[in-house]
Amino acid sequence: MSFSQVAMNPDNPPWGSPAAVVFWVFSVLMILLVPTLFLLPYLYTQLGGVVDGQRVAEIATKDTTAVFIQAAAIFPAHLITLAVAWALVTNSRKFPFFETLGWRSGGVRWWHYLAIMVGFVGIMLIVGTLVPEQENEMLRMIKSSKSVLYTIAILSVFTAPLVEEVVYRGVLYSAFQRSVGQSAAVVLVTLLFALVHVPQYWPSFSTIFLLTLLSLILTLLRVYSGNLLPAVILHTIFNGFQSLLLIAEPHIAEPSTAPVPGIISGLF
């Protein structure tokens, strides 16, 4: 068996844990820096060249145009991350991107997705009822304007699932399970995914708990199938379902009485 054939096995990737960690740090930096760079020209027009930290923070978090710019800037951040992921996974075109990550069903059937979604939504309803969601940064963004809500919904369905699964269940898990073992890899990837989302949802403990649970389910699906594709599909289904709920929420319930937490998994 040639090295290229071995490398196409998702559990034997042509990159190691150090490269995976560096790539993960890069992906986080892209989400932090790219929206800031896109926001700078607008800040300049609003501040007239005067640097005022308090005013900058106020504009960045409360000005609807500024919030929209930051949300929309996630799209180029995702594209840059995917481009770097492609370079890492393919090792400069030596290996096929999707096959190396695992682009098969791996024995996962349509009813598996349905069963997981039904179970998870049931848990969401219970947790959302017992532990009401606290105000957090993501909710403030979503509530700032309809344009921000629709932008986040589009990103969370069409780019976030692929990008986040490539980063976490693709690059990170594939490298970790080979270097530290399957169990440790599951724990590390689950916690890293949840950790990155904490700033957006703090101090909403119910949302953070559900994000951690979702991360665990996605990682276990990667383990069970031996492929990345099922995790991408489930992530997309969940984000699409949650986005529809958020868009429909004003028409079906008052925000104070809606039991489902406002989670849009994996945007940032």
Q: What is the pLDDT of residues 137-153, one digit of tens each?
A: 888 888 888 999 999 99
Q: What is the pLDDT of residues 21-62, one digit of tens each?
A: 999 999 999 999 999 999 999 998 888 766 777 888 888 888
Work out whether the CA dihedral 54, 57, 60, 62 comes out positive or negative: negative
* Greater model confidence, 112 or 124: 112
Distance CA 89, CA 99 (A): 10
Tokens of 146: 């309809």
> In sequence order, which residues have a C-beta less than 8 Å from that of residue 90 and are 6 or more positions away?
96, 97, 100
Question: At residue 261, does pLDDT exceed 60?
Answer: no
Q: What is the pLDDT of residues 72-105, one digit of tens each?
A: 999 999 999 999 999 999 998 899 999 999 999 9
Q: What is the pLDDT of residues 247-260, one digit of tens each?
A: 887 666 554 444 44
Please identify which residue in the block is written with the tokens 């590390």. 188
- The predicted structure's pLDDT at residue 170: 97
Q: What is the pLDDT of residues 189-247, one digit of tens each?
A: 999 999 999 988 888 888 899 999 999 999 999 999 999 999 999 999 999 998 998 88
- The predicted structure's pLDDT at residue 106: 94
Please identify which residue in the block is written with the tokens 């848990």. 123
For residue 14, cis peptide bond before it (omega within 30 degrees of 0): no
- The predicted structure's pLDDT at residue 259: 47
Q: What angle do CA 147, 66, 33 make, to 5 degrees?
A: 110
> Which pLDDT band, with edges at 50, 70 and 90, does 268 fall under?
very low
Q: Is 128 left (phi over 0), alpha (psi -120 to 50) or beta?
A: alpha
> Which pLDDT band, with edges at 50, 70 and 90, does 5 fall under?
very low
- The predicted structure's pLDDT at residue 202: 87
- The predicted structure's pLDDT at residue 257: 47
- The predicted structure's pLDDT at residue 158: 95
Tokens of 228: 């990345």
Other C-beta atoms lying within 10 Å of the C-beta of residue 265? 21
SS3 assignment, position 10: coil
- The predicted structure's pLDDT at residue 48: 77
Tokens of 94: 């030596």
- The predicted structure's pLDDT at residue 220: 98
> In sequence order, which residues have a C-beta less than 8 Å from that of residue 237 and are 6 or more positions away?
113, 117
Judge contact between 111 and 105, C-beta under 8 A.
Answer: no
Burial tier of 129 (Cβ tally within 10 Å: 0-12, 13-18, 19+): exposed
Q: Is 92 left (phi over 0), alpha (psi -120 to 50) or beta?
A: left
Tokens of 49: 């060249």
Question: At residue 132, does pLDDT exceed 60?
Answer: yes
pTM above 0.75, yes or no: yes
